């Protein structure tokens, strides 16, 4: 759960306003209301005995379908084929933030609260994929990094600073080697697609 102080209750409002502008906050509260919200969140999150979402339950399946429909209708993305563990974790987090105990109740809450559909959408876009949505990062990669890689070696492209082989040429095609920190090599594959498109 992410809370920021209400800017009207601060002497200097720059930091709270910056946090609010990210769109990632769950609550904007005056300091006097923060302890009660934290206590309610902890009591709900750590006080529960069992996981509220059981995919084998027919009601849960219907509620998930409703949530997927709301996301598709409002955001335009279909998460119905998304990894169920990721969906469950994100939905449970949003339920905990709002102290909602049942998935059906949360689905109804989403219907009435479009802002939380947006918040759930942001939660579903896991951090590792944020790189792929960063236009500036890809622009820098295309304009600065890739040309320097080609300039260094024509056959095998090696970043001598990192000592890491990102791509190599075989029969006119680029073959990827996962870059450090890449999960399953997806980042390297995307980089290779950019190299092939540019050169």
**Strand partners of residue 134:** none
Q: Looking at the structure, do residues 101 and 153 belong to the same domain, yes or no?
A: no
Q: Which of 125, 151, 167 is the last residue of a domain?
A: 125
> Do 25 and 60 belong together in one domain?
no
User: How far is Cα 183 from Cα 167, in angstroms, rounded to an integer?
Assistant: 16
Token pair 């300091």 is found at 31
Q: What is the pLDDT of residue 29?
A: 92
State the Cα–Cα distance between residues 131 and 94, nearest whole angstrom: 24
pLDDT band at 193 (very low <50, low <70, confident <90, very high): low
24 and 65 within one domain: no
Say which range, 39-48, 130-139, 159-168, has the weakest mean pLDDT. 159-168
- Claim to verify: residue 101 and residue 160 sit in the same structural domain: no
Contacts of 40 (CB under 8 A, 6+ apart): 99
Are residues 61 and 117 located together in one domain of the fold?
Answer: yes
Residues 115 and 174 in one domain: no
- What range defines the domain where residue 2 resides? 1-47
What confidence score (pLDDT) does residue 71 get? 94
Which pLDDT value is given to residue 122?
86
Among 113, 121, 70, 73, smallest CA distance to 93 is for 121
Give residues with Cβ within 8 angstroms of 182, minimum separation 6.
Answer: 188
**Residue 8 shares a structural domain with residue 61:** no
Q: Same structural domain for residues 55 and 72?
A: yes
Q: Are residues 32 and 71 in the same domain?
A: no
Which residues have CB under 8 Å from 139's CB, separation 6+?
Answer: none
**Tally of structural domains, the chain:** 3
**CB distance 71 to 114 below 8 Å:** no
- Of the residues 125, 149, 165, the one at which a domain ends: 125
Q: Which class for 189: exposed (0-12), middle (13-18), buried (19 or more C-beta within 10 A)?
A: middle
174 Cβ contact list (under 8 Å, min separation 6): 167, 168, 192, 195, 196
Mean pLDDT computed over 81-90: 85
Better-scored residue on pLDDT, 173 or 98:
98
% residues pLDDT > 70 (the chain): 63
Mean pLDDT of 170-198: 51
Residue 49 reports pLDDT greater than 70: no
* Tens digit of each residue's pLDDT (9 = 90 or more) over 120-143: 998 888 654 555 566 777 777 778
**pLDDT band at 149, cuts 50/70/90?**
low
What is the percent of the chain where pLDDT is above 90? 22
Of 125, 156, 178, the residue that ends a domain is 125
Mean pLDDT computed over every residue of the chain: 75
Pair 43, 54 in one domain: no
**Residue 93 — very low, low, confident or very high, per pLDDT cuts 50/70/90?**
confident
Does 28 share its domain with 10?
A: yes
Same domain as 143, residue 159: yes
């Amino acid at each position: 759960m992410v809370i920021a102080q209400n800017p009207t209750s601060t002497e200097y409002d720059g930091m709270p306003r910056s946090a609010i502008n990210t769109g990632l906050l769950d609550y904007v509260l005056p300091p006097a209301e923060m302890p009660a919200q934290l206590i309610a969140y902890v009591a709900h999150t750590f006080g529960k005995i069992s996981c509220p979402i059981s995919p084998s339950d027919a009601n849960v399946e219907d509620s998930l379908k409703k949530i997927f429909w709301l996301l598709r209708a409002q955001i335009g993305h279909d998460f119905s084929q998304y990894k169920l563990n990721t969906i469950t974790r994100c939905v449970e987090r949003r339920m905990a933030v709002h102290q909602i105990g049942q998935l059906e109740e949360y689905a109804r809450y989403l219907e009435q609260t479009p802002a939380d559909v947006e918040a759930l959408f942001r939660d579903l876009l896991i951090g590792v994929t944020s790189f792929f949505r960063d236009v500036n990062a890809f622009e820098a990669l295309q304009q600065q990094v890739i040309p320097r890689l080609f300039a260094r070696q024509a056959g095998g492209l090696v970043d001598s600073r990192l000592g890491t082989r990102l791509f190599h040429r075989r029969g006119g095609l680029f073959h990827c080697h996962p870059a450090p920190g890449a999960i399953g090599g997806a980042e390297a594959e995307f980089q290779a697609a950019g190299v092939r498109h540019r050169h």
